[in-house]
Structure 1
Amino acid sequence: MDPYQPLPPIKGQRFKFSSATPFTPTLLRSQLPPSVAATYETRLENQQVQLTNPPKESADKALRLAKKQRRKAAQDRKRECVMGKRKAMELGVWKFDERLAKWEIFWPVHAMWTSYIAEALGLAPRPEVLPTKEQIGNVMPSTAGLQAKLIKADLHGCIVKVKECKNASRVGREGIVVHETSNTFKIVTKEDKLKVLPKQGAIFTLSLPLFAPSPHSQDSDPRIEFELYGNQFRFRAAERASKKFKPKETIEL
Structure 2
Amino acid sequence: MTIRLLIVDDDPLVRAGLALMLGGAEDIEIVGEGADGSEVPALVARHAPDVVLMDIRMPTVDGLTATEELRARPGAPEVVVLTTFHADEQVLRALRAGAAGFVLKDTPPAEIVTAVRRVAAGDPVLSPAVTRQLMTHVVTGPQGAQDPNGPQGRRSSQEPPRRAAAGARLALLADREREVAVAVGHGRSNAEIAAALYLSVPTVKTHVSRILAKLGLNNRVQIALLVHDAGLLDLPEREDGT
Scaled by the length of structure 1, the TM-score of the pair is 0.23
Scaled by the length of structure 2, the TM-score of the pair is 0.24
Larger Cα-atom Rg: 1
